[in-house]
A and B are shown apart, each in its own frame.
Chain A
């Protein structure tokens, strides 16, 4: 006896039974209890053949290697910078991962100062949750000017869209520079406040309605109506 107890894309809560039988495999946001697969998150169910996972609707960013993230410098030490990337712990950007050679004892604020916004990439995470990031690489750098807004990390794929279609549409309609980090931080820089705010509103709309069908059309209309 093997069966799904919920529908694909249904919203579920912790403790809700998702499937019965040993043919299904629990993935992210779920666990097995005897012959049942149960949700451990508030989220949306995704079933891929026999693999069941719950994509969270809320929660902190869980760093993964190679993720591009947007962070803010919160501390500067002898060996590098502490960067808030919205996860449970700050990430570390060590001198050797920051830029070309930096002399020992050099004033690090010259490179990245307190409060600076960085585009960085996750290069290491450990069991004890130290997170190492780098700013060496194409597009990785200090982001000057502009503003940063926050969305639920699990909704980032919707913001980007298929092959970047959603983000391109927003960029084209507003003329703003937009960078979306996997950690749910979105950096926006445009020529004026109105355009930047239109981007903010659009992104917030996607955040709220990410699980709705026909989202792309809705967003298109929103962007056109404001022009």
Chain B
């Protein structure tokens, strides 16, 4: 499909898949997709599909936060998921994806890091969040955030013996999430603002803004793309995110 076609449609207020500008694709979330993970989930957003797994281990806290556990978010853009992804260490796109997810969780304090402390200054929980796109048809960011929240919410804390994790055995205790901050990624094409872009739309994007919101408060933002956005557009996008957050939150069980 050529780019001019997509752009000319958008100028007529239409999208290739006949969605409205503020309409997300159909979302499907499945949890506990992998038995050895403390928590896991798969999020399908249209044809985009992302898997997230949670693993936990005991480690030492950072000296500046001796009574807090920590999260480590990694994203691997597997060449399995797209003809344009290549083997090798995470590049800028994978790193940005992981960082956006990380900040949404960290800054909203949806996971109480203090509760992840086992012994102050010595032992804390490290929560590994690993993101694996399975099929990239655009908007990996929002799908990754939803999968991450669903995986975290269902994660069971592993069994501990003599201060070490017994791998493969879980307690009934769950990780507690006290908020579910949802991320919405908008694209600006020409002077139009679209939500949840598919890969065809992403290929003609001028600028991009991801917004992590929780009950009207904004916890993380990331602007991408090569062109500018205006203050009015930011407001428009934030309004749309706040309007939509509840609907998406209800999908995380």
Contacts and interface: CB of A to CB of B under 8 A. Distances in A.
Contacts of B18: 193-194, 197
Nearest to A72: B2
A55 interface: no
B3 A146 contact: no
Nearest to B14: A193
Interface in A107-154: 115-117, 145-149
Interface in B188-243: none
B247 interface: no
B3 A145 contact: no
B9 interface: yes
B84 to A, nearest CB: 13
B1 interface: yes
B2 A193 contact: no
Contacts of B1: 147-149
Q: Determine the main DSSP class of A at the interface with B.
A: mixed
Nearest to B5: A147
Interface in A41-98: 72
A204 to B, nearest CB: 13
Q: Determine the main DSSP class of B at the interface with A.
A: loop
B9 A193 contact: yes
A146 B1 CA distance: 8
Interface size class of A (residues with CB under 8 A): 10 to 19
Interface string B1-41: 11111001100101010100000000000000000000000
Nearest to A117: B2
B14 to A, nearest CB: 5
Interface size class of B (residues with CB under 8 A): 10 to 19
A146 B16 CA distance: 12
A191 to B, nearest CB: 12
A60 B12 CA distance: 35
Contact of B5 (A116, A145, A194, A197): A145
A88 to B, nearest CB: 13
Contacts of B4: 145
B145 to A, nearest CB: 30
A147 B2 contact: yes
Contacts of A148: 1-2
A115 B3 contact: yes
Nearest to A116: B2
B13 to A, nearest CB: 10
A113 B253 CA distance: 50
B21 to A, nearest CB: 14
A213 B1 CA distance: 31
Nearest to B15: A193
Contact of B2 (A115, A194, A197): A115
A193 B17 CA distance: 9
A115 B1 CA distance: 10
Interface in B134-168: none
B194 to A, nearest CB: 15
A149 B1 CA distance: 6
Contacts of A115: 2-3
Contacts of A117: 2
A160 to B, nearest CB: 21
Nearest to A150: B1
Interface string A141-173: 000011111000000000000000000000000
A72 B18 CA distance: 24
A147 B200 CA distance: 12
- Please give me the 5 A-B residue pairs with the lowest Cβ-Cβ distance, nearest first: A147-B5, A147-B1, A193-B14, A117-B2, A148-B1
Interface of A: 72, 115-117, 145-149, 193-194, 197
Given A149-B1, A193-B9, A197-B18, 15 more contacts: A72-B2, A115-B3, A117-B2, A145-B4, A145-B5, A146-B5, A147-B1, A147-B5, A147-B16, A148-B1, A148-B2, A193-B12, A193-B14, A193-B18, A194-B18
8 contacts: A115-B2, A115-B3, A145-B8, A147-B1, A147-B2, A148-B2, A149-B1, A193-B18
